[in-house]
Amino acid sequence: MTRERPEGLFVGLCTLDVIQLVDHAPAPNQKLTARRQVVTAGGPATNAAATFAHLGGAARLLTAIGSHPLGHVVAADLNRLGVTVSDHAADSVEPPAVSSILVTASSGDRAVVSTNATGYRLAPPEDLDALVAACDIVEFDGHHRELAQAAAQAARAAGRRTVLDGGSWKAGTQDLLPLIDVAVCSDDFHPPGTHTPADTLRFLREHGVVWAAVSRGAQPIMWAGPDGSGTVDVPAVPVADTLGAGDILHGALAHRLAVQGPLTSQGFAEALRGAAAVASQACASFGTRAWMRGR
């Protein structure tokens, strides 16, 4: 089921990101004055949903935000971006997860500290089957384990394409893999017993993932599928900030896959190539949203 305007369901983490552009990471007991600051909604599934919406899709995010004043900031940002939110912690008065992020100006490298989804355990909503049935594609970032597992099972039952953003190996990831059609993982994603991207691709395929890829920053993306494997070059850009590049890659990939029929090796490689172009463009500016003003 595909539409002229694809509909995507994104299941996972939502944070309040406080992003500071600095000359260098501070030494112990040192205070720094940042060059610039951005405060925005963040998290892998959240950034992917924002990308999907920016590219013209209808994005819904299943996550936990809560009713704390900082949660209102997050919700307002997502509303501005055109992302519909299903907040399954709406009654919580606790603050949302806050990610403190330092981006080094000279390299674009980032350092992130966050509690992530540790403060919440989300039960599947009663309308989960309907939410899944209404979309073309479902993307997961591995956070909110119980919710992700239920949504993946509903997607498989409804025949909806599923995508995993494998940023890192998490508890419950192995249970999710047999329900995943497409997994694109970072070079930091290390399933048990794996050491190289080739090991990771083999592991994913052996555990039920049909199409798998490993992104490696500026290096070519490695991929494997049922009828072939290969690499996709990443466009070279002057790097200002690598924060969220993988999330944006997934949002752009989901947007392409939502309107694509049965996948072939050529089609998967082309979808990765297009998504990599969007993610590279995002790396050329500070923060996770500035790139949107250029499209």
pLDDT at residue 121, as a whole number: 82
Residues 6+ apart with CB under 8 A from 171: 145
Contact assessment for residue 251 and residue 295, using Cβ atoms and an 8 Å cutoff: no
pLDDT at residue 98, as a whole number: 95
The ranges of the chain with pLDDT < 70 are 1-3, 294-295
pLDDT at residue 217, as a whole number: 93
Of 107, 198, 112, 151, which is closest to residue 8 (Cα–Cα)?
Answer: 151
pLDDT at residue 3, as a whole number: 59
